[in-house]
Structure 1
């Protein structure tokens, strides 16, 4: 690394990038630098932009709605097939598929175009969802959810890439905030809508009635999304485009992520010990696939699905790790705070869920606020660190919840976590986009979503495994004698039985859950702190306010590489 590069501070302007760094950012191995570095501007009228966003955001809304609908339907679906013990695999198969296929859409959107990649994602998601509604067995339903996840992983990624193409970076954060509001709205409505549809028409209707929204989104994307790619891509034959797909890289990446997440998921859902051959076998397989993936991406693939040169750069690496740790903490909080109110405070499920309402409002507000600040100031570094610090403070407040904690704290301590994390997710995405070349925008966005979704799944799986390990140990210390094993198993698998126990057993169960959750909350603080540390190296790049300014940034960066004098 050059001396000039080492001396760059976090506030280094984008236009002053060193030649070496810029070259690393834009020159894919095996690709020739095009004569015209800047594709035509993708400027659309206000009316067309509204229709494009309606098509893209309706798909995002549906993806969020679908997730919570399915979570609500796990119990009735398990009862219908008389396989409640396998109902958790409905969610696991979808999440695994999403994590594995999310990063692939970055490169696919460069090959098939934004419209082609989005239509592929909608087709897979729609096919899987339709098959779920017709599934004759639990195995068929699990497989259909995996197909839906192949498309669900692309809906958010390609939507984000397409909006980036259409909106200047300085305004991009505000649009991301609006996207997050729609995502939160879909996630919030999914539970009650899914429950109502199940009670009124049966669980199959919850899948089949999603099809009209899917068709609406598909038609709008087909008719209105027309984003131009570089001429050298648009003029290629279908065979040449297919050759650009990194099949080996995609296969090894799926093996890496799939084996890793499956190992953690089986550990938490099947309650297998860490020493079980299946668990450590999956982890070893993940390491082997990871080594093969790095070798393929470094030495073999001319168009890598995840360019190693990109991940090794300062800001992309920092953003990726920040997204990972932040997502682990955020989803652990999302799942374990309601459990605290159910198992320790012995509140009803409805009341426990209501305690997440301030958090949901904070999520939407934080994302929009971050977008507004970036639009006003063109800066994101200080905002990112402040937001991370808010999540650390919120995590510490939650750790100190006790029997005598006031209702004020129980309702509002979680707010800084939601507000801060929503802001971090928005600012880190913009930081990633602003730090890479135009040719790498799509792939970089896919990498961001990969680390984010992987963190989400691990946040739930690891916190669940840790909770059960500590809870089991504490219960065995406090409950002994005849029938103790049966009582402990009942307490571990259902919080609703706690209120039915006699006072000594109830006190032991509540204290054990409180101790276990406190350990989980401390780990959440640690993850939020690691997120803060990972955000420190992020560089502050100029956020262009117009399409013309943004194109000028890309031209000057290319000129730095080729040695061509910059435009006056």
Structure 2
């Protein structure tokens, strides 16, 4: 197979990577994914300690939402432009922005500053989310890709295993700020790999950024996210503020859709949705994201607040899920590469995911470590095998020259599931916790609570917070310790109730995922002829010029 290349400059006319360079490119992709995924797990483990230090439980969900909304919006922009100008410049820009965001996050003095820094991180993460998956497509054809996507999944799982352990240790020993600073050396290593391994691409085709579409997309998503965040806690669901937020967001998103249909270079190409594999995979991706975020985003909070582990130990509890994620990803990749099919496998994966989420709903204040581990293994097997399957199915359904755009659009819509899930589940947790606490506290403690003001699970998250709380109760005399223990028990029960409610919602999305797999069409995975059309089109264009 031939790829047009300038011998002197190393500049290519397509993104395809062949020869020895593809193995260096694969190593770079694996290193970048290791770096980005480890960051996510390191931060997730430290979040309870962070909100305890910065006193920001009510803004808990926005630490995730700020990151996800900026990464989601930039993903389709990176994908479309990388099809024309190559992956390399967007890798570089993304790594630099991510490093800047990490440095500012470590310096944050309040929740607002941290949320802004996480938004900057997200701008860089958009490239790190879309470029590695597209680069795998530049190296391997769809049938080979199943096997290698399994290996990539294993890298992701390994980093996720190490991340919580490292993040917990850093949080306990050095402080939570260092979970952000540790990103910086990894960013430098990944940047060196990108500069060395990825080709430059030069083409006569031109592309422009859809700034108006991007602005409308952000403008439409923000009020909806604010609405979900405040609903039921700050404002009633039926309040004028909530109705205005949701109404404004929906109207702007409708305008976004109308504009995108006529835009010359839309940030989201609405024509892609006419392909049934694409549209079905996107819906499934949203369901998977909603279920996964509902179960895993708040799991460290449950483990630290109810089971009673510190930050480092709660990170270790996440490891079984990541190990099962590796196993599921590798096995499903091997099956797809050998059979060239994926539909039956999607059914099995979705069943495991739904069962795993259901098991989470059975956890309560008396749940032990082995129970949490078993539940996470089942969920990890399902999600680990389903996520790469959906990615390969979509890439296989379109020509290679569209891969960056298609891959990025899929990633964007899937990310929206997480963006929407974060404030929704945060609201469910807060409301469930507050309602249960009102009925769990004895009358004497209810009177004390009124003097204490709002109470949230921050009282459980750090040793310092618990010691300060215990000191206040000791001032009440001999009965103070007994009251303190009763108070902590009531908070644990209330936190368990809030988490239980969001797990139930996650189960609904797990069941919808299983039903949706029956609507996923199947096309046999393509071999090397997948690249042939792109090379032919490039040669024809050069001859015409």
Provide the rounded CA distance (Å) in 2 between the counterparts of 1:306 and 1:551. 24
Retained in 1: the 8 A contact 2:46–2:311? no
Provide the rounded CA distance (Å) in 1 between the counterparts of 2:274 and 2:399. 15
- Would the alpha carbon gap of residues 327 and 139 (structure 1) be closer, same or farther in structure 2, given more than 3 Å must change? closer
Q: Given the alignment of the two structures, is residue 316 of structure 1 paired with residue 278 of structure 2, yes or no?
A: yes
- Would the alpha carbon gap of residues 43 and 162 (structure 1) be closer, same or farther in structure 2, given more than 3 Å must change? closer
- Could you tell me which residue of structure 1 aligns to residue 292 of structure 2? 330
User: How far off is 1:491 after superposition?
Assistant: 5.6
Retained in 2: the 8 A contact 1:63–1:152? yes
> Deviation per CA, 1:353-379, whole angstroms, max 9, x where unpaired?
444322121111111111111111111
Unpaired runs of 5+ residues, structure 1, are 1-38, 558-568
Retained in 1: the 8 A contact 2:56–2:111? no
Which of residues 201, 216, 224 in structure 2 aligns to 1:260? 224
Structural RMSD (CA): 3.7
Unpaired runs of 5+ residues, structure 2, are 1-12, 471-480, 538-545
Retained in 2: the 8 A contact 1:42–1:227? no
- Would the alpha carbon gap of residues 493 and 225 (structure 1) be closer, same or farther in structure 2, given more than 3 Å must change? same
Provide the rounded CA distance (Å) in 1 between the counterparts of 2:176 and 2:349. 40
User: How far off is 1:532 after superposition?
Assistant: 1.5
Between 118-127 and 529-538, the greater mean CA deviation after superposition? 118-127
User: What SS does structure 1 have at the residue aligned with 2:22?
Assistant: helix
User: How far off is 1:285 after superposition?
Assistant: 2.7
- Would the alpha carbon gap of residues 364 and 253 (structure 1) be closer, same or farther in structure 2, given more than 3 Å must change? same
Q: Given the alignment of the two structures, is residue 155 of structure 1 paired with residue 128 of structure 2, yes or no?
A: yes
- Could you tell me which residue of structure 2 aligns to residue 146 of structure 1? 119
User: What SS does structure 2 have at the residue aligned with 1:59?
Assistant: helix
User: What SS does structure 2 have at the residue aligned with 1:414?
Assistant: helix
Provide the rounded CA distance (Å) in 2 between the counterparts of 1:41 and 1:109. 8
Retained in 2: the 8 A contact 1:468–1:492? no
1:373-412 correspondence to structure 2 within 5 Å: 373-401=335-363, 409-412=371-374
Q: Across the two proteins, how many residue pairs are aligned to each other? A: 505
Provide the rounded CA distance (Å) in 1 between the counterparts of 2:447 and 2:58. 23
User: How far off is 1:152 after superposition?
Assistant: 0.6
Which of residues 234, 239, 243 in structure 1 aligns to 2:203? 234
User: What SS does structure 1 have at the residue aligned with 2:209?
Assistant: coil
1:121-520 correspondence to structure 2 within 5 Å: 121-132=94-105, 141-194=114-167, 196=169, 206-226=179-199, 234-236=203-205, 240-241=206-207, 244-267=208-231, 271-275=234-238, 279-299=242-262, 301-342=263-304, 345=307, 352-401=314-363, 409-479=371-441, 481-484=443-446, 487=449, 489-490=454-455, 492-495=457-460, 502=483, 509=491, 511-520=493-502
User: How far off is 1:156 after superposition?
Assistant: 1.7
Provide the rounded CA distance (Å) in 2 between the counterparts of 1:320 and 1:57. 25
- Would the alpha carbon gap of residues 345 and 152 (structure 1) be closer, same or farther in structure 2, given more than 3 Å must change? closer
User: What SS does structure 1 have at the residue aligned with 2:521?
Assistant: coil
- Would the alpha carbon gap of residues 437 and 142 (structure 1) be closer, same or farther in structure 2, given more than 3 Å must change? same
Provide the rounded CA distance (Å) in 1 between the counterparts of 2:338 and 2:488. 54
Retained in 1: the 8 A contact 2:165–2:316? no
> Deviation per CA, 1:465-486, whole angstroms, max 9, x where unpaired?
2233233323323435344165
- Would the alpha carbon gap of residues 441 and 177 (structure 1) be closer, same or farther in structure 2, given more than 3 Å must change? same
Retained in 1: the 8 A contact 2:15–2:199? no
Which of residues 520, 526, 530 in structure 2 aligns to 1:544? 526
Retained in 1: the 8 A contact 2:64–2:422? no
Between 379-388 and 132-141, the greater mean CA deviation after superposition? 132-141
Provide the rounded CA distance (Å) in 2 between the counterparts of 1:553 and 1:99. 30
User: What SS does structure 1 have at the residue aligned with 2:297?
Assistant: helix
Retained in 2: the 8 A contact 1:70–1:91? no
TM-score by length of 1: 0.77
Provide the rounded CA distance (Å) in 1 between the counterparts of 2:302 and 2:169. 26
- Could you tell me which residue of structure 1 aligns to residue 16 of structure 2? 42
User: How far off is 1:397 after superposition?
Assistant: 3.1
Between 453-462 and 165-174, the greater mean CA deviation after superposition? 453-462
User: How far off is 1:343 after superposition?
Assistant: 5.0
User: How far off is 1:90 after superposition?
Assistant: 4.7
User: What SS does structure 1 have at the residue aligned with 2:87?
Assistant: helix
> Deviation per CA, 1:402-435, whole angstroms, max 9, x where unpaired?
6888875443133221111111101011111112
> Deviation per CA, 1:274-322, whole angstroms, max 9, x where unpaired?
35555444322321221111111112x1222211121243111111111
Provide the rounded CA distance (Å) in 2 between the counterparts of 1:394 and 1:486. 40
User: What SS does structure 1 have at the residue aligned with 2:287?
Assistant: helix
Retained in 2: the 8 A contact 1:77–1:87? no
User: How far off is 1:234 after superposition?
Assistant: 0.4
Provide the rounded CA distance (Å) in 1 between the counterparts of 2:166 and 2:364. 35
- Would the alpha carbon gap of residues 275 and 195 (structure 1) be closer, same or farther in structure 2, given more than 3 Å must change? same
Provide the rounded CA distance (Å) in 2 between the counterparts of 1:511 and 1:248. 48
User: What SS does structure 1 have at the residue aligned with 2:78?
Assistant: helix
Provide the rounded CA distance (Å) in 2 between the counterparts of 1:130 and 1:492. 28
Provide the rounded CA distance (Å) in 2 between the counterparts of 1:338 and 1:79. 13
- Could you tell me which residue of structure 1 aligns to residue 476 of structure 2? none
- Would the alpha carbon gap of residues 385 and 465 (structure 1) be closer, same or farther in structure 2, given more than 3 Å must change? same
Provide the rounded CA distance (Å) in 2 between the counterparts of 1:291 and 1:206. 39
Provide the rounded CA distance (Å) in 2 between the counterparts of 1:504 and 1:53. 55
Retained in 1: the 8 A contact 2:105–2:180? yes
User: How far off is 1:523 after superposition?
Assistant: 1.8
Retained in 2: the 8 A contact 1:92–1:265? no
